[in-house]
Structure 1
Amino acid sequence: MKVRLTADPAEFKAITFPFLQRDPVLHSYILSNTADRVDGILHDPAPPLFLSIHDDPGEVVGAVFCTALRGIQLGALPDALVPAIADICADQAPDPDTIAGTATAARQLAELRAARTGKTFHQTLGMRLHKLGTFVEQHATGTARQAVAADLEVVVSLLAAYGTELGHPLPPDEQYRWGSTRIERGRVWLWEDGGRVVSVVGHQETLFNATRVGPVYTPPSARGHGYASALTAHVTKHLQATGSEVCLNTDLANPTSNKIYAAIGYRPLVDFVVYELR
């Protein structure tokens, strides 16, 4: 087993995408984050670290990235490959204290990292990746529309509230960069009711005929009217009409969102967890 390192997302893309594209839904997170860095949409405050894991003949069998904002992202890395990257991550990326991956792989790396650093670890988030099955239309008062440049302030405001509610707010400059670049690319949608924007849904770039929906956010004052359900369904239908497979992540601690997405036709595919060391 060999691990190859790079700080260049374009190099990582060239090496790993032929492997990752075999299951673009399962690997959606690593694919989209890498593509956004290559395209200049995502920016890191410190140099990122990308790892490709190769078997003895040299074929890619796993891909991992580590950044200051998102910690160590294992994606769907198999458990058996965790030992191959543990020491490298500890030596080359000692600062990130969050690890995301499947329940067993993420815990395995958290245990190895904790043993090396003397820190303790605990799970902070459980996520479920869903893939669209049979689409079911949803309805609410109001209409959906694609966000335009004039919507930047309202999009940034909703994004800021979303980040604050999650406990991971983006810096203001990142909020504006996120909003402006994604609006330009047609990846932000709004739901309006009575001339008021009441919900926002984004989606990632379509890669290898798969698209991940998110984020989805409705301010507390506008909840309970089905806006998020209707807008997510609208975006889902739009993406499906392009021929794309559609997927999304949910927080397992939020039964409301899981119920909403199940009603649209999303079905569970695999669970992921996030561990934090301290």
Structure 2
Amino acid sequence: MDAVVHTTLESFDATAHDRLAADPVRNTVALTSLDRVRRLPATALPPTLITFHDNGELVGSLIRTPPWPFQAADLPLAAAVLAAELVSEVDPDAPGVTGPRERSSAFATATGKDFTESLATRLYRLDTLAPPTVDGSGRMATEADAGLLGAWRAAFQAEAVPEAPDEDPAEVVRGSLRLGNGHALWQVDDTPVAWAVASVPHAGMTRIGPVYTPPEHRRHGYGAAVSAMISQWALDQGATDVLLFADLTNPVSNSIYQRIGYRPLDDWAEFWWKR
């Protein structure tokens, strides 16, 4: 098996984009993160882009969009050792890897580094949407909401993904809005109580996340309501696969998503190197 390190996104796209887009559910993270790099290049650090070939045939890929970990959803298990050797040379500062558990675990193990499992999630796909009946109403957020949503994004990451790289959360929200992603707010008496984001459809796929309800507004169904609202937005944008990840250590969120129509597909794991 051979590997090619692509020095430009254009070269990688010419080789691998059609392969990724042919399975948008499995490759949801790669497709959305590379779409952001493609459409907001001035805000992005250069990605690491590797394809794997067997007798000249494309058989997989491995990417990283800094400052985030490698994405191993398309990594062939047979290429795990080759990939680990290669990235130690071309991207030694990578913090870890994420992907379907078998693939991300194989890559993490092949690096020979000490690592810890930082996140265990389940990938869900929307079947038939069943919006709940909840007090309040929803609206789509705008640039004027970036300050509030930036603060909520920081709170979400501190709670759910404490290993996440430092980024300006309000700028991340503004960039997301510029991309055309949907940001839904649920309000009660004009007070925002919950927030959910959906990526603009790519290859027919949209992914929901983050979804956040401040602690003082929890246990009222607002998270379910805003998740259903942004899911409907995604369907209205033409998405055929509406996806989301739920933290497996949070049984409440997993049950909420299933009640509004999401069905489990696959378990993912994220591993970070110990420093």
* Alignment partner, residue 207 of structure 1: 202
* Alignment partner, residue 155 of structure 2: 161
| Aligned ranges 1:87-236 → 2 under 5 Å | 87-114=85-112, 119-166=113-160, 167-168=162-163, 171=166, 174-184=168-178, 185-236=180-231
* Alignment partner, residue 23 of structure 1: 23
- 1:136 deviates by 1.2
- 1:243 deviates by 3.3
Matched, 1:263 2:259: yes
- The letter for the 2-side match of 1:257 is S
Write out per-residue CA displacement over residues 21-79 of structure 1, whole angstroms, 9 at most, x where no aligned residue: 1111111100000010111178455x431111223233x32121124421221124232
- 1:92 deviates by 1.2
Write out per-residue CA displacement over residues 74-131 of structure 1, whole angstroms, 9 at most, x where no aligned residue: 12423223233121111111122312122222222222212xxxx4222221111111
* C-alpha contact (below 8 Å) 2:184/2:229 kept by paired residues: no
Query: The residue matched to 2:22 in structure 1 has which SS?
Result: coil
Q: How many angstroms apart in 2 are the aligned matches of 1:126 and 1:42?
A: 32
- 1:267 deviates by 0.8
Q: How many angstroms apart in 2 are the aligned matches of 1:28 and 1:270?
A: 12
Write out per-residue CA displacement over residues 171-225 of structure 1, whole angstroms, 9 at most, x where no aligned residue: 46x3222211222425211111111111111111211111111110111111111
Query: The residue matched to 1:26 in structure 2 has which SS?
Result: coil
Matched, 1:253 2:249: yes
* C-alpha contact (below 8 Å) 1:160/1:170 kept by paired residues: no
* Alignment partner, residue 72 of structure 1: 70
| Aligned ranges 1:8-47 → 2 under 5 Å | 8-40=8-40, 43-44=43-44, 47=46
* C-alpha contact (below 8 Å) 2:68/2:95 kept by paired residues: no
Unaligned runs of 5+ in 2: none
- The letter for the 2-side match of 1:23 is D
CA, structure 1 residues 219+240, in 2 after alignment: closer, same or farther (shift >3 Å)?
A: same
Q: Which segment is superposed worse, 156-165 or 227-236?
A: 156-165
- Alignment size in residue pairs: 271
Give the TM-score, by structure 2 length.
Answer: 0.91
Q: How many angstroms apart in 2 are the aligned matches of 1:257 and 1:91?
A: 39
CA, structure 1 residues 259+171, in 2 after alignment: closer, same or farther (shift >3 Å)?
A: same
* C-alpha contact (below 8 Å) 1:32/1:207 kept by paired residues: yes
- The letter for the 2-side match of 1:196 is T
Q: How many angstroms apart in 2 are the aligned matches of 1:220 and 1:10?
A: 43
Q: How many angstroms apart in 1 are the aligned matches of 2:132 and 2:152?
A: 22
Q: How many angstroms apart in 2 are the aligned matches of 1:162 and 1:9?
A: 30
CA, structure 1 residues 269+76, in 2 after alignment: closer, same or farther (shift >3 Å)?
A: farther
Q: How many angstroms apart in 2 are the aligned matches of 1:169 and 1:95?
A: 15
CA, structure 1 residues 212+258, in 2 after alignment: closer, same or farther (shift >3 Å)?
A: same
Q: How many angstroms apart in 2 are the aligned matches of 1:170 and 1:104?
A: 24
Give the TM-score, by structure 1 length.
Answer: 0.90
